[in-house]
Amino acid sequence: MAPPRKRDVRASRPPLRFGDDPLLWASWLYYEEGLTQSEIADQMGASRPTVNAYLADARARGIVNISISGDKLRSVTIARAIEAHFGIGDCLIVPAEGGQRSLIDRLGAAAAQSLPDLLHSGDTVAITWGRTMLALANAVRDCHLSDVIVVQATGGTTAAITYTPEACATRLAESLGARFVPISAPAIVSSPEARKILLREPVIAEQMQNLERVTCILFGISSLRPNSTVHSSGFFDSSLQRHGAYGTAVGSLAGRFIDDQGAGLSGPLADRTMGIDLDQLRSVPTRVLVAGGFDKVPPILAALRGGYVTTLITDSATGEGILRAEGVELDTLAPRRRAAEPPQQALARTRIKKFINQPKDAVTEALEGALAAFPDHIEPIGGSLRALRSRAAKPEGKVGVVIGGGAGHEPGFAGFVGPGLADAVALGNVFASPPPDRILSCTRDAHRGAGVLYIYGNYTGDVMNFDMAADLAAAEGIQTRTVLTTDDIASSGAEDRAARRGTAGNVFVFKVAGAASARMLPLEDCERLARKANAACHTIGVALEPCSTPDTQRPSFSIGQTDMEFGVGIHGEPGVTRVRLQTADRVVDQICDRIFEEMRLAPGARVAVLVNSLGATPMLELMILNRRLTHRLSARSVDVHTTLLGHYFTALDMAGASITLMALDEELTGLLDAPCDGFAWRK
């Protein structure tokens, strides 16, 4: 029995301007933005009673007294104004005064607390150097991430300081449990020629290439005051200070000097600096600037103007100074509470439009269309449209491979019939098993004296009907063997693999079995290899919207606008768990974390990949999913041997996708690479 479905009620993360304070977030939305408690519950990913409790606690703790307390209100107001004015994604403001801890320590701690929301498993993180960066690295606690790489953003500096690039990057890697990649060269070399020579060194070239793969960079910024980091590190000596090229410089980030608009300055250091350049920095998806203090206002402002920042973490006095320098007065920023408006009811789909004639004829007419489109691949057996065989000749002594299941998974199952694949397929109605007599017809047709191998998904109706067909075949002297596909790891635990469903991993199992049969291997070996392929496959599916069958033309289940189903099968059922809607990268991360853990993927492993549409998900979105999947596999140093991308095993018109990873050894690789010719897979 499948495990009971669970609802994920974890709250969405608050914007950074609220810190880690759900009471403040709820209070702001209720008292300042005028949202109803139901609207707040939707936005926070919490229940309405929880929101009610948050608001009561906020009053009890003095956060709210008719309005939000002044200091917190000012911090949130500054953060929101900076986000809006500069178009950045997040801004976190810490108090300008903070007791005994220095501003640098408080900024570092705030940035460290934000990392779980900014970093993800498989990321490559670069960090620059300086007092604030070392404070950040020291404050980081275990973020429970895997396959993270920490890259030194620049070469080394003088060891006379404690906050060198090596120290900051090493400490961050230790805190995250990540792999550390240094840059084994000085940050500033003696000449452009020396830089060119160093970049030709294989070790340094390999280290520098990691900067092209950075997904998040944590950086500080240096002003040009005499005791600033850029001076105390020996980076910017007196002779350079007098150089005219740096006369308009207001600060330095990652060893690169910028003017007040954020433009890079081309002086004598430009061709002597080893590390990330400004164009590379600007192309990193997540760019976190952590800096504060009155002297940092001009360089922070320049970095914001230059587009180097996606997230800013600073203090309230610095934030206010940045806004005033832009002519934004805080007195004009007081938020106006809008009147609460009743939420508009979304139009619910009650009937799904389809290109069909009569619902009862949909499967028959679809098969007629398939036969018309692919006459060189498939043909009916004995005039039955639902028992199809390969048009290719089947030599005597070849093991027959028969697959089957319900309609609604197109191009599966019929698309995987042909040379190097299955010999015949038995099809049922939509999401319904084919009857035993139809399976027996396919068995007789595929039999060439060496027995027949059945491969189908682990579903009650399929098991019952194929077993009955096997008994009937045995009575006629035809030996059969059965392999149930069980690749869906969300449907049951690893300790009970036999109870799992067969989903898109079917495709790889069909391919391996078909290749084994084409090699004229005996039935026992074909069965062994099909079982091996099934054991190597691991799949998880996620749905954004339900499917609808031709007969009902209604959604197969209801789902909210901000929800998705995690762990769906291929028959229109809900997932094992309902969770909050997430971005494509975070969906892939959840899938990878589960699959990697069960597969115990180690560096150097080889896999085949299937990114499969469940019906309505277009190729564009599948490619976005594959982008993140490739990144996660690369971060673990896993070799992707083959990638399939598209509609392979669907659930009618379900909006969703599944990801399958198949662990490969030499034997499975050879069978997967063997030629085949089905209308859904040609090789």
* Tens digit of each residue's pLDDT (9 = 90 or more) over 312-346: 999 988 998 899 889 887 655 555 444 444 444 44
pLDDT at 568 over 60: yes
Residue written as token pair 């495990």:
3
User: What's the pLDDT at 151?
Assistant: 97
Token pair for residue 253?
């980030």
**Domains 102-329 and 359-682 fall in the same CATH topology:** yes
User: What's the pLDDT at 264?
Assistant: 92
Average pLDDT over residues 527-546: 98
User: What's the pLDDT at 493?
Assistant: 87
- Backbone phi and psi for residue 556, each to the nearest 5 degrees, phi listed first: -75, -15
- Number of other CB atoms surrounding residue 87 within 10 Å: 11
Mean pLDDT of the chain: 89
Lowest mean pLDDT, pick from 136-150, 414-428, 473-487, 614-628: 136-150
pLDDT at 618 over 80: yes
User: What's the pLDDT at 309?
Assistant: 97
Lowest mean pLDDT, pick from 41-55, 230-244, 302-316: 230-244
Amino acid type, 237: D
User: What's the pLDDT at 97?
Assistant: 74
pLDDT-derived band at 238 (thresholds 50, 70, 90) equals: low
User: Over the range 470-488, which residues count as b (16 or more CB within 10 Å of their CB) and which as e?
Assistant: bebbeeeebebbbbbbbbb
User: What's the pLDDT at 341?
Assistant: 44
* Alpha carbons 504 and 530: distance in angstroms, whole number: 15
Q: DSSP per residue over 459-527, as a string? A: -HHHHHHHHHHHHHHHHTT--EEEEEE--BTTSS-GGGGGGPPP-TTHHHHHHHHHHHHHTT--HHHHH
User: What's the pLDDT at 270?
Assistant: 81
Summarize the chain as % helix, strand, coil (round to 5).
40, 20, 40
Partners of residue 388 on adjacent β-strands: 380, 425
User: What's the pLDDT at 62?
Assistant: 75
Fold for 359-682, please state it: Rossmann fold (3.40.50)
Q: DSSP per residue over 635-663, as a string? A: HTT-EEEEEEEE-SS--TTBEEEEEEEEE
CATH label, 102-329, candidates 3.30.2010.30, 3.40.50.1360, 3.40.50.1000, 3.30.1780.10:
3.40.50.1360
Domain segments of the chain: what residues?
102-329, 359-682
pLDDT at 457 over 80: yes
Annotation marks residue 377 as catalytic = no
* Alpha carbons 35 and 342: distance in angstroms, whole number: 9
Active-site residue, from 409, 447, 538, 647: 409
- How far from 105 is each of 144, 422, 675, CA to CA, in Å? 23, 65, 62
Q: What is the pLDDT of residues 249-273, one digit of tens each?
A: 899 999 899 999 999 988 778 888 9
User: What's the pLDDT at 480?
Assistant: 98
Q: Which residue has the higher pLDDT, 70 or 484?
A: 484
* Alpha carbons 242 and 494: distance in angstroms, whole number: 67
* Alpha carbons 216 and 219: distance in angstroms, whole number: 10
Annotation marks residue 571 as catalytic = yes
* Alpha carbons 126 and 337: distance in angstroms, whole number: 41
Lowest mean pLDDT, pick from 63-67, 145-149, 361-365: 63-67
Active-site residue, from 120, 447, 571, 647: 571
pLDDT at 570 over 90: yes
User: What's the pLDDT at 60?
Assistant: 78
Average pLDDT over residues 366-379: 97
Q: What is the pLDDT of residues 428-444, one digit of tens each?
A: 999 999 999 999 999 99
Strands (E), 115-163: 124-127, 149-152
HSE on the CB side for 355, CA within 13 Å? 4
User: What's the pLDDT at 340?
Assistant: 44
The percentage of the chain sitting over the pLDDT mark of 70, rounded to a whole number, equals 90
Asked if residues 242 and 217 have their Cβ atoms less than 8 Å apart, the reply is no
List all residues 6 or more positions away from 303 whose beta carbon is below 8 Å from its beta carbon: 221, 251, 253, 258, 262, 289, 309
User: What's the pLDDT at 342?
Assistant: 47
User: What's the pLDDT at 40?
Assistant: 86
User: What's the pLDDT at 16?
Assistant: 74
Average pLDDT over residues 603-620: 98
Asked if residues 322 and 81 have their Cβ atoms less than 8 Å apart, the reply is no
Among residues 512, 514, 567, the alpha carbon closest in space to that of 539 is found at 567
pLDDT at 215 over 60: yes
